[in-house]
Amino acid sequence: MIAPHRLSVKFFFEELSIDVESFIPVFHRWIRENVVPNELLLDVADYKHIVDGPAILLVGLEADYVVDLTDAKPGLLYVRKRDAGSDLSDALGTTLSQALNGVKLTETDVELKGKLKLRTDAAMIVLLDRLNYPNSANGDGAAATAAQTQLSDDLAPLFGDDATVTRVDNDAREPLTFELHAPSAPDVDALLGQLGSVG
């Protein structure tokens, strides 16, 4: 299947109350120290005044990292904007590798002092491409079904045989969205090891 124009993955914090302000100096240091492999990080934007949405945004050329509070489910959202891969599987692999690397960097960051942990047993995956992946129950519904099957096939070997991918029943005006549930998911180090080198 064709790679979506953009693709995002959100991993959720174990904690429901996050000091989003603490990420501002952390993200600035990520830029200064060039801590993310294969990506150019550019700037940090503060959106914490927005209720129930993105709070702190680390803007990059290839991708953005977002401390996201949407639906009262705080998490680290990774949005791949370019150069993800030639098809959906490639794009998912690239996006997952970089997103999980972001999870690892967050959990081990010297300023955050290991206080924050992210879950690997659940994630939100959004195909930000209305042309190739319309969010409709009819017409091009076949594209959504095929995408769900492809995501399931790609994620099960990584996250465990009990991993399931379900389509979110959201408004048709919103992008095509899926939830990953993986009760037996390995930790972030094991997942990164399975995915190989970041990038």
User: What tokens were used for 16?
Assistant: 């429901």
Rounded Cα distance, 60 and 121, in Å = 27
**Per-residue model confidence (pLDDT) at position 197:** 46
SS (H, E, C) the chain: CECCCEEEEEEEECCCCCCHHHHHHHHHHHHHHCCCCCCCEEEEEECCCCCCCEEEEEEECCEEEEEECHHHCCEEEEEECCCCCCEHHHHHHHHHHHHHHHHHHHHHCCCCCCCCCEEEEEEEEEEECCCCCCCCCCCCHHHHHHHHHHHHHHHHHHHCCCCEEEECCCCCCCCEEEEEECCCCCCHHHHHHHHCCCC
**Per-residue model confidence (pLDDT) at position 14:** 94
**Per-residue model confidence (pLDDT) at position 79:** 98
**Per-residue model confidence (pLDDT) at position 198:** 44
The whole-model pTM stands at: 0.94
| Residue 89 binned pLDDT confidence (cut-offs 50, 70, 90) | very high
**Per-residue model confidence (pLDDT) at position 152:** 96
Between 158 and 139, the higher pLDDT residue = 158
**Per-residue model confidence (pLDDT) at position 143:** 87
**Per-residue model confidence (pLDDT) at position 137:** 65
- Report the pLDDT averaged over residues 56-63: 98
- Report the pLDDT averaged over residues 41-59: 94
User: Residue type at 69?
Assistant: L
**Per-residue model confidence (pLDDT) at position 16:** 86
Quick: pLDDT tens for 61-82: 999 999 999 999 999 999 999 9
Beta bridge partners of 166: 179
Residue 27 above 90 pLDDT? Answer: yes
**How much of the chain, in percent, has pLDDT values that exceed 70?**
96
- Report the pLDDT averaged over residues 129-153: 86
- Report the pLDDT averaged over residues 10-31: 95
**Per-residue model confidence (pLDDT) at position 199:** 42
Quick: pLDDT tens for 168-196: 999 888 999 999 999 999 999 999 999 87
